[in-house]
Amino acid sequence: MFDANCQWHLPKYKADTDLVAEWLAITAKTNGYEVAAATPIATGGRLKGKARKLAKAGAAKTSQTTTTASSSSLRNSTPAPKSTHLIKIKDFETLAAFISKINSLKIPKYFVVALDRVIIARKGFADRLTSSGLKVNSLSEGRHSFFVEVLEKVRHILKPFIGTTQSDSEETTKADIKPDEAAKNIFSVLEVYHTSTEFQNAPDAVPAPATEVKYVAEQEDTFMDVIFAFTALLDDYHRLRTEIKSLWTDYVSGNLDLAAVSVATNVAFEMARNMEEEIESLLGKEGGGSLVANRYFAALCTVFGIEMNAKKQPGDPYNLDAYDLADMCMMNSLTMLASYLQSTGRSEMHLQSYNGSFGWYDETVGDSAQTRRQKWKQDMTAMLEFMPDVSFLTSKIDRSTIVDEITRGMVYLANDRTQDPPFWLAWATQIYLDILQFLGQDCDRGYREMQQECLNIKHSMLDIDPSSKERSKVLHAACIWDNDPMWMARKLMLDLGLFPNKIAPPFKFLCRNPIYCGLLIHNMRSKLHSSGGPFAATPGALLGLTQLYHALRQEKMLADDLEWEDLETLRKLQGNPSFFVGDLPTNREAYFKNYCLSIGTSVTNWAPNRRKSKLKINSANRRNLKYTAYVSLSTNHRLEHPGARQPWSPAAVEAVLNEGVRKQYTDSREHFQAEFKDVVEKERLELAKLFPPGIIRKLALAIQNEILGISFNYFTMHNEAWNFLGRLQEGFGQVLGPNVLSKNPDELPFAAGLALAAAAGQMSPQGDKKVEKSDVLMHGAADVLQQFLREGQGSVIKEALAKKSQPEDVESLEIGDIDPWGIEKLKKVYRF
């Protein structure tokens, strides 16, 4: 479908240009115009080497993953892409002329906005470029101007149909962009894309109809277009960088969780990669993003009167007077990435260890370095210590529980050493440096939080059956970094005389990488949720238990001061549709009927002539638990699968966030609660107004809001329920007799339904006796439950979440053969 909001999808200049082309093509074709179909644009290519290995590993891991019926959407399967066709620039005017003859033509606001912004942003760009010190040949300027002239003709032809609705972009641009300031503000040309909220919210006209073909504008490839595209990309990166710094400030102040800001940061890396790849072919006309960045940096140095190559000391990458310009252009991280790759053999990348020859990163200084040389040394030493660790992870890609985007980018580079580091990876590593230095001496805070999360999750598995496969999955995620594989491997090399006499202490990588620690925490929580849900849902105990608890509460049979807090939390997280059919029942007949419908059976199955038959359950109709953290599980899914894939675009992240909102009002059978349609639509419209930095913040907030649901321990909730049902069965046996109730553990969950059946005057299928209509079992259940709650059994999960487990608390934990890095085997061989 034609995307009315794609003007917010970056790089902005290309999105706007494509929007103009697509609206012209679709509108003309819909009204009878034969749009010439150019040769479809080819995308993608055959992966090679380690990239193919990544893709295969990811596919294998995905195929082995077992999920419940409600989890299929978490796989984020992408629909088949539309075929893409070019609209030549010379055809724009012809299409506009045809459209102008359509009766009752209505032109949507977003088309006008896109058209105006492209014209304003491109018009006069040559003058701004020249004033910035870059030379532009007349041919390049002429071709660039030709496109502007074509767009102005399109606007002139359609002007009678545009009416009085006009963007405030041009006025804003004229006021903000002054000729004498162009060289000092390289992003000023792009201010046209930041229009007023009032205009963005203005009423729109009818959008273009859906189409199976995606139309894009023919892309000019002059040097001016390349620099224009790169300027837009750099502006995008600058704004994302600012937002990420703001998120980490919120983390330090305690307003956001480490996992939330780490996942948002990692997804921002994906966005950055997507943005660069959108204009990759264009940048390739001038040698690629790295070379364009170098030329751009050199031009800025000229503008500011800095001789870039006048290095003041041997080993300087450039004249450090230009440090601030280099930082803005990502030249510092780009230079260090390129240098590392050039100096390290592909087969040796994972064996490297920095020896301190250029000094060591000073955590006490952080980002408080005063001089440019001090700042450069902090950047350089941090990167020199960081890159060998990332390289080690690239060699262990199949053993890791997560693959962050920096590691993924290094895998691609290791696969093809002939290519320069992509610009997005330089930006991502610069963000790593920003965060590391911003945290200063507190940079190991993330590692400490990750350790605590590991202990808490291990402690929560103490009472879970060691043979459980779901338990093993959780413990694998929680134990992955019990040993430092980097330190162990280097210690071995040191003992063999293959390393210098000094190696970094254990866990230095995690102490210096709060992003990675946050991703590990996110993975542990996600695994706790995705494994705990099926573990608790399979027996069906929680469904009947919630129905019984509701009935006892409704009938005032429980003391007011007693509450099963964990069950109440579960019910709020899951929503009533996960436990009840339709409206909540309010009388004895309704309790029993709703119970039957919820477990997927009929009231007739409880009739006397069915008493010796096995209870018939229709699993297609029964209620079940659902996953309650769609955004968290979706982002974790990408972290867990190392295969090569297309990076998430801002539009893709927006789609995940929208689906996350919709999932809040969807039951385990994918039935959407129609009464919340307006709420979901309002959220969608609000999200559509956001720029990518706003989308990243929204993602962090979404994950933050899901932490309670994703950290809730369904394993313990199941054990609580099973414990209570055992007591309930024993209590009922005292009323009905010792041989009345089945001893089959598979039928224990149905014990909750006995009280409801008896109160409604129905026959229990487990017994040979007919139970007359009576509240005796309801009162018996209330007595058992009140004793259960007075013992503190109803708040086990709540108390565990508030407690900080200690190492001695998990000493008795059985973890089985979990040895993800092969460390235990290494210890035995070399007697560490």
Cβ neighbours of residue 636 closer than 8 Å, sequence gap 6 or more:
522, 523, 526, 527, 530
Q: What is the dihedral of CA 571, 573, 574, 576, to 10 degrees?
A: 50
**In a shared domain, residues 745 and 605:** yes
**In a shared domain, residues 731 and 773:** yes
**In a shared domain, residues 695 and 725:** no
**In a shared domain, residues 152 and 201:** yes
**In a shared domain, residues 703 and 557:** no
Helices (H), 37-108: 49-64, 92-99
Residue 314 lies in a domain: no
Provide the whole-model pTM: 0.85
Which residues span the domain enclosing 187? 6-43+81-218
Contact 592, 752 (CB under 8 A): no
CB neighbour burial string for 720-743, b if at least 16 within 10 angstroms, e if fewer: bbbebbebbbebbeeebeeebbbe
pLDDT score recorded for residue 661: 95
Give the three-state DSSP class for 196.
coil
| The pair of three-digit structure tokens given for residue 530, joined into one six-digit string | 């995705």
| The pair of three-digit structure tokens given for residue 804, joined into one six-digit string | 């900080």
| The pair of three-digit structure tokens given for residue 16, joined into one six-digit string | 């706007």
Closest CA to 3 of 21, 634, 155: 21
Residue 337 lies in a domain: no
| The pair of three-digit structure tokens given for residue 255, joined into one six-digit string | 């307003």
Query: Which one-letter amino acid corresponds to residue 782?
Result: A
**In a shared domain, residues 35 and 182:** yes
d(CA 595, CA 301): 74
d(CA 668, CA 533): 11
Other CB atoms within 10 Å distance of the CB of residue 66: 8
Give the three-state DSSP class for 626.
coil
d(CA 505, CA 486): 10
Residue that the structure tokens 């009140």 belong to: 786
Closest CA to 728 of 779, 772, 797: 779
Residue 745 lies in a domain: yes
Strands, E assignment, 598-645? none
d(CA 564, CA 549): 9
DSSP string, 124-151: THHHHHHHTT----HHHHHHHHHHHHHH
Cβ neighbours of residue 768 closer than 8 Å, sequence gap 6 or more:
611, 612, 740
Q: What is the dihedral of CA 17, 23, 26, 30, to 10 degrees?
A: -160
pLDDT score recorded for residue 140: 64
Residue 223 lies in a domain: no
pLDDT score recorded for residue 715: 95
Count of domains observed in the chain: 3
d(CA 412, CA 770): 70
Residue 647 exposure: Cα atoms within 13 Å on the Cβ side = 22
Residue 670 lies in a domain: yes
Element (H, E) at 87: strand 83-87
Question: 469-479 and 514-537 helices cross at what angle (nearest 10)?
Answer: 170
**In a shared domain, residues 555 and 599:** yes
**In a shared domain, residues 592 and 724:** yes
Helices (H), 689-741: 692-711, 714-736
C-alpha distances in angstroms, 220 versus 89, 134, 210, 283, 562?
9, 19, 27, 11, 71
- Looking only at the bridges linking them, the beta strands covering 83-87 and 213-217 are parallel
Provide the 8-state DSSP code for 748. Answer: G
**In a shared domain, residues 771 and 671:** no
C-alpha distances in angstroms, 492 versus 396, 406, 826?
17, 26, 9
Give the three-state DSSP class for 331.
helix
Provide the 8-state DSSP code for 587. Answer: S
Considering 776, 791, 806, which residue would you say is the last residue of a domain? 791
Question: 138-162 and 12-30 helices cross at what angle (nearest 10)?
Answer: 50
Contact 300, 186 (CB under 8 A): yes
Considering 692, 711, 730, which residue would you say is the last residue of a domain? 711
Binned average pLDDT, 10 residues per bin, the chain of 832 residues: 35 76 91 69 44 46 37 43 78 93 87 86 67 62 78 92 52 34 48 48 44 76 82 89 97 98 98 92 90 90 89 93 93 93 68 82 92 95 94 88 94 79 96 97 97 96 92 94 89 78 88 98 97 86 94 95 95 92 93 90 60 58 86 96 86 95 87 90 91 95 96 95 92 78 75 89 57 85 96 93 93 83 72 59
Other CB atoms within 10 Å distance of the CB of residue 794: 21
Cβ neighbours of residue 256 closer than 8 Å, sequence gap 6 or more:
247, 250, 700, 704
Residue 366 lies in a domain: no
| The pair of three-digit structure tokens given for residue 595, joined into one six-digit string | 């119970």
Residue 684 lies in a domain: yes
Residues in the chain, how many?
832
Residue 162 lies in a domain: yes
Strand partners of residue 214: 84
pLDDT score recorded for residue 271: 96
**In a shared domain, residues 146 and 206:** yes
pLDDT score recorded for residue 645: 84
Considering 656, 691, 711, which residue would you say is the last residue of a domain? 711
Say how many Å lie between the first and final Cα of the chain, rounded: 61
**In a shared domain, residues 576 and 678:** no
d(CA 698, CA 683): 11
**In a shared domain, residues 155 and 105:** yes
